[in-house]
Amino acid sequence: MPVLRLQSMAQPKVTPGAYRRMTLVALVMVATIIVTGAAVRLSGSGLGCPDWPNCDRSTLVGVANSHQVIEQVNRLFTGAMMVALIVTVLGSLRRVPRRRDLTRLSLALVVGVVAQGVVGGIVVRTHLHPAAVQLHYVLSIVIVTAAMVLHRRAGEDARADGTVVHRATVPARVARHVRAVVVLLGATLLAGTVVTGSGPHSGSASDPSKIRRFGFAVSSVARVHSALVWATLLATLGLALRLRGTSHRRVLDDALSLFVLAALAQGGVGYVQYALGVPAGLVGLHVLGSVIVWIAALNLWLTCRTAASATAVLDDTIGAAAALR
């Protein structure tokens, strides 16, 4: 009996509410790492540590100057984030009831961050090649997507067998429209990385002239980026008009309003930073905005369906069978 009691104390169970809080921490951390990574680039600290995983050939942790400190803080934060993600994986294994989908998603986050570390090494070893920096950001957005899906799924109620069956909350045509908005936003973010790779913030303050850039005229790629911004906003306006006067508006109203506010704020910052000659502070704010608007878009997309109870699934099946008769 005492042995069993010690085992239960050594392996505490995790409630669904506690696990959802774990996933929220994971989401915040993977989103924050994008901003800290941007701070490294905008402060010219991208080559503050010219080696990886060591700071340089003779030093594991370098603090000789401010650029090294900034780069090291970013690397240490990445390590802290990895610890948080591992805790999330362990939490999924101890969650009651246990769900395989949450374990798979949490493991995917760890794999993504490991891949991100490899890409970070490539960024350093290629001396901040813009394509490598671009991949660094894109992979971060993919990880944020996985973290957001994990957080939403962690809040869903599973059936008795531990599985989750989803049902649509809006008609298929509305869901396709939402998906189109998200795809357009993704293209907008990708175009933004091209603007970044062509702009003045190369990531190194020591000798920025030696850092390769994409070679596009900033004004040209900024116009493409701006056109995609407007296309996303127009598609969002079309979605709002489609929902007006329908019962489905109530389902998406909060998520759509949040996305519109985030998108308008992000667009405003983008135009201001361009007009002022892309100062580093506003560029950093724009990077933060890109993460926020992407999470808001994912929230809108994920609201298009919800977990269905076993009774609801049975009702839908009976209804579909009756409609075919």
pTM flag (> 0.75)? yes
Distance separating alpha carbons of residues 160 and 70, to the nearest angstrom: 49
Per-residue pLDDT of the chain (325 residues; tens, 9 = 90+): 454 454 444 567 889 899 999 999 999 999 998 888 888 777 776 666 766 666 766 666 666 667 777 777 777 888 888 899 999 999 999 998 888 889 999 999 999 988 988 888 888 788 778 888 889 899 999 999 999 999 999 988 776 556 777 888 999 999 999 999 999 999 999 999 998 888 776 656 665 556 777 778 888 898 999 999 999 999 999 999 999 988 888 899 999 999 999 999 999 998 998 888 888 888 889 999 999 999 999 999 999 998 775 434 334 433 333 333 4
At 291, the amino acid letter reads V
Count Cα neighbours of 78 within 13 Å in the Cβ-side half-sphere. Answer: 24
Closest by Cα among 182, 193, 192 to 267? 192
DSSP state of 158: P
Q: What are phi and psi of 307, to 5 degrees?
A: -70, 135
At 222, the amino acid letter reads A
Instruction: Quote the pLDDT of residue 315.
Output: 41
Report CA 114 to chain centroid distance, whole Å: 16
User: In sequence order, which residues have a C-beta less than 8 Å from that of residue 78 and are 6 or more positions away?
Assistant: 33, 113, 116, 117, 120
Instruction: Quote the pLDDT of residue 266.
Output: 94
